[in-house]
Structure 1
Amino acid sequence: MANVERLYTLYNLISDAKDKAPQHKKEFAEILTGVKGGPGERRLTSQFIARFYSYFPEHQEQALNTLFDLCEDDDVAIRKQAIKDLPTLCKGKTELVPKVADILAQLLQMEDVGELITVQNSLVLLLKTDAKGTLTGLFYQIQHSEDELVRERCIRFLHSKIKVLGPSVFSTEVETLVHTEAKKVLQVSLSEEEFVLMMGILRELKVCRTPKGYQQLVELVAEQIDFTRPLDATDLESVHRLAACTKQALPYFSTTIKSTQFVEFMWREVLPALDILQQGAAESNNNNALILDLLKIMAELVPNAGEVENLSGKISAIYKKLLEVMPLPPEGEAATAALEGGVTLEFSRVECLLFIFHTLAKNHQEFLTGDSERLKDFRTRLQYFARVTQAYQKRLREAVANKTGEELKTEENKIKLIAVKTTGNINILIIDLFRQPPSYKNKITLSWKPASGGASVLNGAEKRHPPITFDEKSPKSQKTDRQIYAPPRDKYSQKAAGGGMRGGNRNRNRGGGFRRGGGFRGGFRGRRGGYRNY
């Protein structure tokens, strides 16, 4: 076994030989024995293997396995050194790249941040050396690894690097390989987070940034959802997964790419499930955010729904949900109590449901005009809700008025700004529906989506709408001294801001949770002794 001094002697002998270095086979073999020494010997062994590897083909398999052993060393410094040295072996020997990439991909399970960065840097070097070979190794682990953490981190690595490295590494040929392999991955069972990341990778490919590519992405999402499978609303894992998957398709729907099958599924499976989810929310299972998430998704789907089955039935189903959150005005003592204690209204849900109803009823206007009793009841609810909404919006505007740009960046003020947009949208839709006959001409940008233009909600210059009354003949001139209902007094975040998808989806996976152990868990032992057929 060579010690540190002997290793330096051997290094000098081979280095000084220059073109005759391949003649020093015994000296290189002796360098390999340094792996059995102390920390100094093992670290030098790693460095010297990387330096002379290409000169000694008869020792290359042994040398490669020695480096793999050092990647699992108990000393973190030695592990990092070996990981840094691995890409060096592949210079001029691209046939090694898939094997080395496979091993580095497994090392992405490292818990130490410094080691993880070292592994990622070595993978980047491999991508620059031979992108196709590196991707072959990475996708092998993504498709076959039983370790959730390895799969997720491989996907996350590609997701982060494909845009950063750009065409210099991800050429058209390489992108084609990514596209092919990614589609294979999406055909097997993935965790929610893995699916979202893989869709993010595909989104960066040029081949997917075309109408045909958008259609393919939508079809991949549809395959994940499986519209033939009923939704079990009691399985929150499945419901969250449905929401996450559908969100991946939302950006691609248009006048040419229809959301029809998604809409049909939502009305058939999701809308009835809302009652079950609401019951869970009442039992303190905190499903309110999930319910709102599903309503937001439905609101984004309907504008591009195309021809749907039983339109009247769909409108009726949404109308019933809308009545649940748009109450009749209280009377007598209840009205006095409402004025004194405020009212609690689900503004975010109302925005979603009112937008869905407004969008669908445009193609079936007799739903309201053909039933005078229904129209009268609806107008009563609209008027009451409009009064409370306008009062609530006034309080919100006062709360954010004269705030600096920096102050408006706080979480509380961001929530209030969203609430201003929410209440503004509700008022616009109510004004349309309150016309005689109801109109469906106004368009809004849903409060959770980026504004496409128009006045700021803070500059006070946007159009102000008069309070809505029953006398629609002269809405602009009519005045009333009737006392309006008191606005809600609960926190803005609970009722006006809504909620997005829950975070921390990492634990929702095929294995029932990630196995987190020490710095390295099992590694890749048993994978040596010849190269895998890639």
Structure 2
Amino acid sequence: MAEASEASNDIEKLYQYGERLNEATDKSQNVKDYLGIIEAAGGSVKAKQLAAQLIPKFFKHFPTLSVQAIDQHFNLCEDEELGVRVQAIRGLPLFCKDTPEYLSKIVDVLGQLLPAVENVERDAVQKSLMLLLRQDVKTSITVLFKHVGSAEEPGSDETIREKVLCFIRDKVFPLKEELLKPREEMERHITNLVKKSLQDVTADEFKMFINFLGSMSLFGPGAPAERLQELVEIIEAQADLDAQFDVSDGDHIDRLITCLKMALPLFKRGASSSKFLDYLNKHILPVFDKFPEEKKLDLLKNLAECSHHVSPQECRQLLPSVVQLLKKTMVRKKLEEMNFTFVECLLYTFHHLAHKAPNATNSLCGYKIVTGQPSDRLGEDFTELYKDFNERLSTIEVLTRAMLKKLTQGMTEHNKDMAAAKTDEERNVVKTQKQNATAGLRSCNNIISLTQPLHSKIPAFIGDEKINLSWKEAAKPSARSTAVTGDKRAAAAAGNGSGTYPNKKGRGPGFSQNQLVNRALDGVRGGGVGGRTGGRGRGWRGHGRGRGYRY
């Protein structure tokens, strides 16, 4: 009873302090009343809740008590009682309403409170942060990024860092149009903050930041090539293209492949791919045979997609390495093992590079292309090169047509199995088999389309995107454009496959388009038509915080 009476007295005193302060013309003269409020914050639960409302309300009138008042309020934010904590958190933005000099400190504290377990408490923290972001977005976002950390100023606590990043991603980024004003100034400021933070991020965090930067008007549609190049340079730094390559460094391989894929949309918009391609040419392609088996196809796919966006000079430099690798992949004997998807990637790359530097193929493949330049080397005899290249082309065409026939026959069986399936599980199994076969058909049809023009002494290299790579979603082609083998069923099967398969995930197992292709080819191999699987493994591996990615 005594405790209840004392608590009731404390609350009564708090109401009196508040009333006198409300009525006072010069509130700064009521120092004892404000001190009484601060001291009452150490009382009962209800007293603490009331004090949590009164301390920020009259804070601006007592600058000499600011440290004492804020410290006591922070204590309330960590109180054992949820109701007290929530009330105190909701009051934090009030400290900054008339005394903005405290905004940095308050945002910093709210950032530390983001890992709150209780939903109502976490909601209060997020709403308080949003109020302060709307009051001063530049200061607030700068303070939040300090929790993310950088090389010069690492983040303090891993849990806090993670929660702050989630808040930025889920609450700040979606409201960029509303919050980032003036737009150009704030987008540049955000870009600089992100750059500092990217030296210590996970793979998913890096993708998140790059996607966000790409969504800003600074780098949006109409942005000049030099600004897009700024994004490419950020990606290049993460790919560590200045480092000596070690083929046993799986983390570097993962980052390199994924960063190249992230940069592709920027290359399409006019940014330069020179540094990536130079690194591939000097460090990666020469040791391709030693590359992890599960990463080879990922690399070749990215190289193929990148081949559209290469300057003539870079094409000339890349072609020797690409042709050498292509010849290793193009078998000469029909009983040799061949990876069909590798061949598709490399033939596609070869066409697009040769289209911009055609006479470079004279000394590589024995062609007779005349451009009037000394590099034509028309006075030299490359007959044996031409003969060898054509033999390889003919062999892979035979193997590919045989594979097309088997895949087409398999599609007929799959259709029968689908009609006979009685359960959803059986239908799903057959559906997956049909998807695999369709993917294989598309890859084989592409190979035929790519090899046929290359038999001529003066071939017409394909330099546009009329051939849709087998792992990419395809527009609905006409039967005429797809029927490259003369087999209408094969053409229809390949033409109707949309290629809508899951892309590579940052973490965890999952099917990718190349897995579908190779499973299709594995399932019907025989009679001398062999091949290696090239499916991805389990995604990116982690290596702890430090240089590059954290997992």
Mapping for residues 404-423 of structure 1, pairs under 5 Å: 417=435, 420-421=438-439, 423=441
- Asked if the contact 2:37/2:51 (under 8 Å) is kept, the reply is yes
Do residues 141 (structure 1) and 147 (structure 2) align? yes
State the one-letter code of the partner of 1:230. Answer: Q
* Residue 467 of structure 2, aligned match among 432, 440, 444: 444
CA gap of 1:16–1:353, structure 2 versus 1, over 3 A, is same
* Residue 454 of structure 1, aligned match among 466, 469, 476: 476
CA gap of 1:205–1:504, structure 2 versus 1, over 3 A, is farther
- Asked if the contact 2:137/2:180 (under 8 Å) is kept, the reply is yes
Specify the alignment match of 2:307 in structure 1. 302
- Asked if the contact 2:347/2:447 (under 8 Å) is kept, the reply is yes
- Asked if the contact 1:46/1:85 (under 8 Å) is kept, the reply is yes
- Asked if the contact 1:148/1:514 (under 8 Å) is kept, the reply is no
CA gap of 1:389–1:511, structure 2 versus 1, over 3 A, is same
Query: How far off is 1:328 after superposition?
Result: 4.3
Do residues 427 (structure 1) and 445 (structure 2) align? yes
CA gap of 1:198–1:488, structure 2 versus 1, over 3 A, is closer
- Asked if the contact 2:201/2:549 (under 8 Å) is kept, the reply is no
Structure 2: distance between partners of 1:512 and 1:226: 8
Look up the SS of the partner of 2:246 in the other structure: coil
Specify the alignment match of 2:523 in structure 1. 489
1:476-533 deviations in Å (ceiling 9; x for gaps): xxxxxxxxxx964289xx999954882686x643299989xxxxxxxxxxxxxxxxxx
Specify the alignment match of 1:509 in structure 2. 545
Do residues 374 (structure 1) and 389 (structure 2) align? yes
Structure 1: distance between partners of 2:415 and 2:133: 49
Structure 2: distance between partners of 1:423 and 1:375: 23
Structure 2: distance between partners of 1:412 and 1:90: 63
- Asked if the contact 1:418/1:448 (under 8 Å) is kept, the reply is no
Specify the alignment match of 2:211 in structure 1. 200
CA gap of 1:412–1:327, structure 2 versus 1, over 3 A, is farther
Look up the SS of the partner of 1:318 in the other structure: helix
Mapping for residues 148-163 of structure 1, pairs under 5 Å: 148-163=158-173
- Asked if the contact 2:180/2:187 (under 8 Å) is kept, the reply is yes
Query: How far off is 1:123 after superposition?
Result: 2.0
Specify the alignment match of 1:175 in structure 2. 187
Mapping for residues 13-92 of structure 1, pairs under 5 Å: 13-17=16-20, 18-20=22-24, 22-37=28-43, 39-92=45-98
* Residue 251 of structure 1, aligned match among 262, 265, 271: 265
Specify the alignment match of 2:511 in structure 1. none
- Asked if the contact 2:351/2:461 (under 8 Å) is kept, the reply is yes
- Asked if the contact 1:159/1:200 (under 8 Å) is kept, the reply is no
* Residue 482 of structure 2, aligned match among 457, 460, 463: 463
1:368-414 deviations in Å (ceiling 9; x for gaps): 444212321232123212331453266458758999xx99x989957
Look up the SS of the partner of 1:232 in the other structure: coil
CA gap of 1:225–1:119, structure 2 versus 1, over 3 A, is same
Structure 2: distance between partners of 1:496 and 1:207: 42
Specify the alignment match of 1:318 in structure 2. 325
Structure 1: distance between partners of 2:7 and 2:341: 70
- Asked if the contact 2:219/2:227 (under 8 Å) is kept, the reply is yes
Specify the alignment match of 2:374 in structure 1. none
Structure 2: distance between partners of 1:317 and 1:110: 58
Specify the alignment match of 1:522 in structure 2. none
How big is the alpha-carbon RMSD for the aligned residues of Structure 1 and Structure 2?
4.1
- Asked if the contact 1:109/1:149 (under 8 Å) is kept, the reply is yes
Specify the alignment match of 2:231 in structure 1. 217
Identity %: 27
Structure 1: distance between partners of 2:29 and 2:347: 82
CA gap of 1:95–1:296, structure 2 versus 1, over 3 A, is farther
Structure 2: distance between partners of 1:272 and 1:3: 82
Structure 2: distance between partners of 1:444 and 1:151: 45
Larger mean Cα displacement after TM superposition, 132-141 or 37-46: 37-46
Structure 1: distance between partners of 2:267 and 2:48: 57
State the one-letter code of the partner of 1:357. Answer: F
CA gap of 1:8–1:76, structure 2 versus 1, over 3 A, is closer
State the one-letter code of the partner of 1:174. Answer: M
Structure 1: distance between partners of 2:103 and 2:536: 45
State the one-letter code of the partner of 1:454. Answer: K
CA gap of 1:68–1:292, structure 2 versus 1, over 3 A, is farther
1:111-161 deviations in Å (ceiling 9; x for gaps): 666655543333222211211121121123333224344444434433334
* Residue 5 of structure 1, aligned match among 5, 8, 11: 8
Larger mean Cα displacement after TM superposition, 263-272 or 144-153: 144-153
State the one-letter code of the partner of 2:323. Answer: S
- Asked if the contact 2:304/2:349 (under 8 Å) is kept, the reply is yes
- Asked if the contact 1:243/1:293 (under 8 Å) is kept, the reply is yes
CA gap of 1:373–1:466, structure 2 versus 1, over 3 A, is same
Structure 2: distance between partners of 1:33 and 1:117: 28
CA gap of 1:16–1:176, structure 2 versus 1, over 3 A, is same
Query: How far off is 1:169 after superposition?
Result: 1.2
State the one-letter code of the partner of 2:32. Answer: K
CA gap of 1:312–1:502, structure 2 versus 1, over 3 A, is closer
1:225-276 deviations in Å (ceiling 9; x for gaps): 3433112222222222223333332210037423122112113222345433
- Asked if the contact 1:32/1:63 (under 8 Å) is kept, the reply is yes
1:295-318 deviations in Å (ceiling 9; x for gaps): 222222222121225344222333
* Residue 105 of structure 1, aligned match among 86, 94, 111: 111
Structure 2: distance between partners of 1:496 and 1:398: 23
* Residue 276 of structure 2, aligned match among 247, 262, 282: 262
- Asked if the contact 1:83/1:118 (under 8 Å) is kept, the reply is yes
Structure 2: distance between partners of 1:112 and 1:497: 46
Query: How far off is 1:202 after superposition?
Result: 1.7
Query: How far off is 1:16 after superposition?
Result: 3.2
State the one-letter code of the partner of 2:389. Answer: R
Specify the alignment match of 2:513 in structure 1. none
- Asked if the contact 1:391/1:487 (under 8 Å) is kept, the reply is no
State the one-letter code of the partner of 1:428. Answer: N
Query: How far off is 1:27 after superposition?
Result: 3.1
Structure 1: distance between partners of 2:433 and 2:130: 40
Paired residues in the alignment total: 464
Structure 2: distance between partners of 1:121 and 1:400: 56
Structure 2: distance between partners of 1:72 and 1:270: 54
1:405-457 deviations in Å (ceiling 9; x for gaps): x99x9899579647635631441342231244255337323344444x4349x
TM-score of the superposition, structure 1-length normalised? 0.73
Do residues 385 (structure 1) and 407 (structure 2) align? no
Structure 1: distance between partners of 2:89 and 2:328: 58
- Asked if the contact 1:126/1:134 (under 8 Å) is kept, the reply is yes
- Asked if the contact 1:98/1:135 (under 8 Å) is kept, the reply is no
